[in-house]
Amino acid sequence: MNPYVNLNVEDGIGTIEFFHPQSNSLPGEILQKLADTITETGNNNEVLVVVLKSGGDRTFCAGASFDELLAIEDENQGKQFFSGFANVINAARKCPKFIIGRIQGKTVGGGVGMASATDYCFATKFASIKLSELAIGIGPFVVGPPIERKIGLSAYTQLTINATEWHSAEWAKEKGLFAEVYKTAKEMDVAILTLVKKLASSNPDSMRALKQVMWEGTDHWDSLLIKRAAMSGKFVLSDFTRETLTRLKQQ
């Protein structure tokens, strides 16, 4: 299947689904389309609540595309690529509608950042998380602010420093990233549908105001995340990162 970002609107519920055949990795094109679609959905008067999901069964998102990371030739290109993650997070942050996350399986790096940028997140027991950036020589600079906001500095530090360790969905729930964890995707989808139907019948003005209150203190992220993107764009050019990415691709 080809990569895609699709939007489906039904009964006031806007469902955004993204997919990439390489474990739902996020090349620049998909990141840009995701950011644009989130913004467009937020401005769509037919949409009262948003669901963010990915295609496939057991992997929500594999994070940055190794192919695109290796193709980066200078710091400006690096900044531009990592700004794609910044744009998705800021689009979710500024979307006037609640965004409900559906995490059906493992998620890494930028995928954890996307889950953290949702307003209420469901997961299955298969949804282990990992911040692997330090292990490849970079660091979760761009996705750090939404993750730290969601789970706190201590848990974020654990994820960041222990960069090769998977943390279970239950761990993520205990720390506040996931609201609920289910045994199967079917059970999760029933719970998501129940919540979004309730939200779709709620006062849209109240929900908009609540979202603004919930994200107070993050207005500076427009500039902060771009600065963080420049940091990642610099480190991705290091010999350590180049050699590590090349070795991982060959495995």
111-114: list long-range contacts, CB under 8 Å, 24+ apart.
Answer: 111/24, 111/26, 111/60, 111/61, 111/62, 111/63, 112/63, 112/140, 112/143, 112/147, 112/159, 112/177, 113/85, 113/88, 113/89, 113/140, 113/142, 113/143, 113/146, 113/147, 114/52, 114/61, 114/88, 114/89
Give residue-wise pLDDT tens across range 185-205.
999 999 999 999 999 999 999
Q: Which residues of the chain have pLDDT under 70?
A: none
Adjacent-strand bridge partners of 121: 101
Record the tokens describing residue 119, joined without a space.
């307003």
pLDDT reported for residue 148: 98
The reported pLDDT for the residue numbered 215 is: 98
Q: What is the pLDDT of residue 65?
A: 87
Domains present along the chain, CATH in parentheses: 4-183 (3.90.226.10)
Distance from C-alpha of 141 to C-alpha of 139, rounded to nearest angstrom? 5
Helices 75-94 and 221-235: crossing angle, nearest 10°? 150
pTM: 0.96
- Please report the pLDDT score of residue 38 as a whole number: 98
Per-residue pLDDT reduced to its tens digit, 4-52 = 999 999 999 999 999 999 999 999 999 999 999 999 999 999 999 999 9
Alpha-carbon distances of 179 from 5, 97, 104, 126, 203, rounded to whole Å? 25, 18, 13, 15, 22
pLDDT at 67: 87
The per-residue pLDDT for 47 is 98
